Structure 1
């Protein structure tokens, strides 16, 4: 992870299987790494949280993570912060909205950073009401790790899905 994070001197210790603590050399580095999440290791999502020394590890819940989601298909006249914020709220807690500038290479509208519940299926898009018409807008998740196209959840592939078992042929 030190290569991906571009930082030296990170101290990592395993508390139990699947639970690690990281100590960063500076507060600035720690905040930069938290701000630039999500991170993954071997295509597995690494959910990072700022922990407090007085709270035991078992009291933390690692079921939410922040992702950037690009929203495509919003008409140019509707590419305003309020519209993207409202669409982001359909996914979870909105942290930030970034609208593409007119000169932006993609200029497809923008993206939202949303804290999503990892126990729920990801949404592929939503219906946007534009006056008397409805328009489907598409959600594209950035830096998405293991993802199941059967149940829509992060953490496994369709071949390992317990909700919708992958059909194998003899």
Structure 2
């Protein structure tokens, strides 16, 4: 990831926080009848920079939609997208390519909760319980 900002004397690079980030996103298991809505589905995650297209499974039962989206890194990123069409609800898995690790304890990126120096014992136990259940 490249982050550009004006330089000032004494600038601390550890305080850089990327608020927006372009990322390739895959929507996995989209109903082939809904694949034309791929761009609209991507727009629900953020502004679409580029669509890479749709690939069909060998059996034709599902499709994967791929696109580059400008993500808001200050908000939690969804892992599932719920689609409703004609009274039918479908779940589509979301896969993000090469995002930095996210800590569920301090809400910062670049490390996971297990290695968080800001985590409290309570929050660490909560994360461990969630991961082991």
Shorter chain as normaliser: what TM range? 0.5 to 0.7
| Length-normalised TM-score, structure 1 | 0.54
Query: Paired residue for 1:85, among 39, 63, 67?
Result: 39
For these two proteins, the number of residue pairs brought into alignment is 114
Higher relative CO (Cα under 8 Å, sequence separation at least 6) belongs to 2
Query: Paired residue for 1:70, among 7, 15, 26?
Result: 26
Instruction: Give deviations 1:57-116, integer Å, cap 9, x for gaps.
Output: 47x973111001100121112112xx1211112211111112234589xx7322121111
Worse-matched range after superposition: 61-70 or 114-123? 61-70
CA distance, structure 2, for counterparts of residue 48 and residue 153 of structure 1: 17
CA distance, structure 2, for counterparts of residue 61 and residue 152 of structure 1: 12
Unaligned 5+ runs, structure 2: 9-15, 129-133
Once the two structures are TM-superposed, the CA of residue 121 in structure 1 deviates from its matched residue by 1.0
User: Partner of 2:12 in structure 1?
Assistant: none
Unaligned 5+ runs, structure 1: 1-45
User: Partner of 2:69 in structure 1?
Assistant: 114
Change in Cα spacing, 1:119 to 1:99, as seen in structure 2 (3 Å) is: same
CA distance, structure 2, for counterparts of residue 65 and residue 130 of structure 1: 30
| Length-normalised TM-score, structure 2 | 0.66
Change in Cα spacing, 1:103 to 1:95, as seen in structure 2 (3 Å) is: same
CA distance, structure 1, for counterparts of residue 93 and residue 106 of structure 2: 18
CA contact (8 A) 1:118 1:153 kept: no
User: Partner of 1:97 in structure 2?
Assistant: 51
CA distance, structure 1, for counterparts of residue 125 and residue 28 of structure 2: 32
CA contact (8 A) 2:50 2:67 kept: yes
Change in Cα spacing, 1:137 to 1:102, as seen in structure 2 (3 Å) is: closer
CA contact (8 A) 1:149 1:157 kept: yes
